[in-house]
Structure 1
Amino acid sequence: MSRSSPTMKGITMRVGELAELTGVAPRMLRYYEEQGLLVPPRQDNGYRSYGEEHVERVRSIRSLIASGLPTRLVRVVLDVEALADDELSPSCTRQVAEMLHAEMRSLEDKIACLTKSRDTVERYLQRTRHGDLAGVAEPA
């Protein structure tokens, strides 16, 4: 079994191996590090050294970013989760809660705007001879 097998306990990996395991490009992993989202220890030779915990961290980062959170809030959410004693009730400061509420309001505003745009387009299509195409995605 190779030293970087995901089933091996206490493994260490380089950035390319972590990239392969997570499907995230090495350049993006370095960006995560620049943003303070990923903090790998360094070996004596200066190389980054990733472990199994980094695989899960990268997957969490990807998921949060894919959900639309900006990296500044991804870091906050991950930090709050890391401090949580109880999975069901992580604690956070009032400032963090306010940031998350502001982000939620922003997302709700975007959803409302997109919903209005979708409804407008749908109504337009229904009034045209191409109304039967409403809800049908074009092939990629």
Structure 2
Amino acid sequence: MKIGELSRETGVNPRLLRYYEEQGLLVSRRVGRGHRRYADDAPMVVAHIRALLAAGLPTSVIREVLPCVEGPGPALEHCAGPALRERLDGIDDKIATLRTARTALAGLLATTERSP
């Protein structure tokens, strides 16, 4: 399938499809005059990429877990677990840091509201 066909079928801009390819998430082969051709399963791969992006994963992590994706779901095999756990732990750490900063900022704001 050509890039325009893949774009229409998935609703993803061709520029973004090329970016996915640059990031090692999507594979194409080059045919006459260097035109990209994608495999028949490319729409499902793009759907997996979009689902993983929607979960807040950066492309570097997606590249790591994409081989662990099964079916149209996507359903993830156990091999995705360590990368996902590491990412979730990082998010939890950021949330804790933000909560601490919020508490400190709220305390500072409270002191300004008590002043005449």
Q: TM exceeds 0.5?
A: yes
Structure with greater strand share of residues: 2
Structure 2 gaps of 5+ residues are 107-116
Report the identity percentage.
42
- CA distance in 1: counterparts of 2:26 and 2:76, whole angstroms: 24
* Equivalent in the alignment of 2:77: 90
Q: Choose from 97, 106, 110 the match for 2:90.
A: 106
Structure with greater contact order relative to length (CA < 8 Å, sep ≥ 6):
2
Q: Which letter maps to 2:84? A: L
1:1-140 to 2 correspondence within 5 Å? 12=1, 14-81=2-69, 90-92=77-79, 97-112=81-96
In structure 2, the CA distance between the partners of 1:68 and 1:42, relative to structure 1 (3 Å rule), is same
Cα deviation, residue 106, structure 1: 1.1
Cα deviation, residue 42, structure 1: 1.8
Structure 1 gaps of 5+ residues are 1-11, 122-140
Cα deviation, residue 115, structure 1: 6.8
Cα RMSD after superposing both structures:
3.0
